[in-house]
Amino acid sequence: MDITTVQIQESRLRQDLLDLARFGEDQGRGITRTALNDADLAARQWFKERMRETGLKVYEDAAANLIGRMDSTVGPTDGPCIATGSHIDTVAQGGKFDGALGICASLEALRAIRESGLSLPCPLELLVFTDEEGSHFAGTFGSRAMFNLLQEGEMEKSRGTGMTNLAQDLKRMGKDPQKIGQGVRSPSEFRAFLEVHIEQGPVLESMGIPIGIVEGIVHLGRYLVRVEGKTGHAGTTPMHLREDALVKAAGIITTVNEAILSAGPEIVGTIGELRVHPGIINVIPGEVEMALDLRSVQEATLASVKKKIVEIVHSTDKAKIETIITKGGVKMDPGIMEAIELSCRQRGIPFHRLWSGAGHDAMTFPTQHIPTGMIFIPCVGGKSHCPDEAIRFEDAATGAQVLADTLVRMAFKAEQ
Ligand code: GLV
Ligand code: MN
Ligand code: MN
């Protein structure tokens, strides 16, 4: 069997990426296609059509994940599949390629496999996940819902007063959040999961290498800090009689940042979300909600920094910290890494093995003992989660080609 008979087309992939990037264009400030907002709903309709055109059977599950299935023409139609995909949502004012590259590369790979006329011995699935970014609460919602990994009451939670939650947004699109369990699948339905993604960091670009083979994904912890103060008039309350929640929060931010820095380069942490209540120019802030994101390759480092942060928060009057979620800390499957490497070698494509500092739906599958792999391509300047996230389309095409070749390789290997 000659895997190189499967040939993806860069021009088609490029067009899909550019078409998808029109959904959520935010007045020159990047793409705001946060999960289940109007732009996301429109993008999903568009993507469902592209999947149907590709000859896939299209379903939408209870968590609003999109599933496009290509049955085997020679094997059992209900046998376990090899799945590929990523997410369609973006962070607010994010880039055009985080998530989008994975779903468009998967679509192009399946299109190319179909056109090649190869008869694969197992089904393939294209998975488009809901709320990977965590615009509502904890992130990787769709992939965790698929394996019954949601936390109790999670769909009713949001990170801040005034934000919508997933239950509300699922209802808005006509779904019943009570029926979320109907989308749960057995791990035995999957032989493997493979995700293509932009690296979101500078390593591949700095090395001039087009393909990254991901070895693992870091440990990640997300926390919500609430600080209470006393609201009041900004003009009449003397400074020494105030209890300003934002001033207290500012102290926490600075001390937490110092604690993370002093733990060394193995850990990164960010407080990137702050809600000040009531958030009015002439009112003393009465409450602040802020979200902290911590990541490290080393679980022990994350745990010890988290412990320090809890002490910092608790040493501030009327401040509390709670865990939103901990996830990640997963290794990719050595057999899949090998298959990706072989696909690169066969076409003379340089590759490099590396860890992912970003979170992905590919973190969920290893927890279900489903062999998982990730293929990275470089992004310009290593930038991501911002409007100037950019790629070279030839790298995207290389990623899609390596994906297509690896899917075929794995399908025939699975048969053996
Ligand atoms: C997802 O993009 C994350 O790593 O936060
Ligand atoms: Mn992503
Ligand atoms: Mn992202």
CA 156 – ligand 3 centroid, Å: 22
- Report the separation in Å between the CA atom of 143 and the middle of ligand 3, taken as the mean of its atom positions: 14
Residue from 89, 129, 133 to probe ligand 1 pocket by mutation (most atoms less than 8 Å from CB): 133
CA distance 389 to 369: 33
Tell me the C-alpha distance between 211 and 334, whole Å: 16
Total number of residues shown for the chain: 416
Distance between Cα 412 and ligand 1 center (Å): 33
Contacts of residue 262, defined as CB under 8 A and 6 or more positions apart, other chains included, come to: none
CB 68 within 8 A of CB 54: yes
Helix (H) or strand (E) holding 19: helix 10-20
CB half-sphere exposure, 155, CA atoms < 13 A: 23
Q: What is the dihedral of CA 93, 95, 98, 102, to 10 degrees?
A: 130
pLDDT of residue 194: 98
Residue 89 CB–ligand 1 contact under 6 Å: no
How far from 339 is each of 13, 100, 228, 391, 408, CA to CA, in Å? 23, 24, 53, 24, 10
Q: Give the global pTM.
A: 0.96
Q: Please state the separation of Cα 26 from the chain's center in Å.
A: 20
Could you write out the DSSP letters of every residue in 346-387?
Answer: HHT--EEEEEESS--GGGHHHHTT--EEEEEE--GGG--SST
Which atom of ligand 1 is nearest to 384's Cα? 2
Short-list 260, 262, 198, CA closest to 223: 260
Residue 2: what pLDDT? 72
Cα 384 to ligand 2 centre (Å): 9
pLDDT given at position 387: 97
Point out the ligand 1 atom lying closest to the alpha carbon of residue 293. 5
Could you identify the atom of ligand 1 that is nearest to the CA of residue 357?
Answer: 4
pLDDT at 276: 98
131 CB near ligand 1 (under 6 Å):
no
Which residues in the chain come in under a pLDDT of 70? 1, 414-416
Substitution site in 86, 200, 384 for ligand 1 pocket (most atoms within 8 Å of beta carbon): 200
In the reported structure, the alpha carbon of residue 403 is separated from the centroid of ligand 2 by a whole-number distance in angstroms of: 17
Residue 18 Cα to ligand 2 middle (Å): 17
